[in-house]
Amino acid sequence: MEHKQNGKGELLIAGVGGWGIVTIGDILANAALKEFENVAWFPSYATMMRGGESECCIIFSHKRISSPVIYRSSGVMVLGASRIPVFEDRVKPDGLMLIETTGVNEENKVKRDDVDVRYVSAMEEATKLGSIMNANLVMLGAYIGATGLISKESILGEIEARFSGKGKDKIVSACKDAFLAGLKLIQQHA
């Protein structure tokens, strides 16, 4: 299945609060601003800081974007197995669905055969790298690796801009390592 579109990308990121869904949506949107003429970023989350439903919609295009919100997307990323059933129907046919593997079992696996489903062990990879909090960046790397819609250099530059500061070199390095690990993971399973 082909995920590159004619100068357009759209991604719904779904999960629960605490996974950094809004953060990676913001990183992706800001990186897209470097490569696309039009970008829409629309986060939506419950009032609970951790554990509440959270989603983020990012659209980037060389053409005008008619709405910052879409119901069905060519790309869906799910962080939190409980959200799989809800978002399985929100992927367009021939679209891409990236799912973080924690909590995934036979009952909640994606049943559709008209989408490209890739299970990414982002929590496991982030744990190996030393910070479980960077699982979201592993997933972002997997998305960029699977689609190629935005250059890895633009994402790395945005990670640098977002997390750098006095004494934060280790944080920036860890975040970049997590993103690059996601790129590598998806390329190994392609």
Per residue in 109-139, pLDDT tens?
999 999 999 999 999 999 999 999 999 999 9
Per residue in 83-102, pLDDT tens?
899 899 999 999 999 999 99
pTM of the model: 0.92
Per residue in 27-72, pLDDT tens?
999 999 999 999 999 988 765 556 667 889 999 999 999 988 889 9
Instruction: Give me the pLDDT at residue 94, please.
Output: 96
Backbone angles phi, psi at 176, to 5 degrees: -65, -40
Rounded CA separation 136/175 (Å): 10
Instruction: Give me the pLDDT at residue 1, please.
Output: 39
Domain 8-188: give its CATH architecture: 3-Layer(aba) Sandwich (3.40)
Instruction: Give me the pLDDT at residue 51, please.
Output: 61
Instruction: Give me the pLDDT at residue 36, please.
Output: 96
DSSP output for 38-67: EEEEEEEE-S-SSSSEEEEEEEEESSPPS-
51 against 140, higher pLDDT: 140
Residue appearing with tokens 């605490």: 18
pLDDT bin (cut points 50, 70, 90) of residue 3 is very low
Instruction: Give me the pLDDT at residue 49, please.
Output: 58
Q: How far is CA 140 from the centre of its chain?
A: 4
Among candidate residues 77, 15, 84, 81, the one with its CA nearest the CA of residue 44 = 15
* Stretch 153-162: mean pLDDT: 96
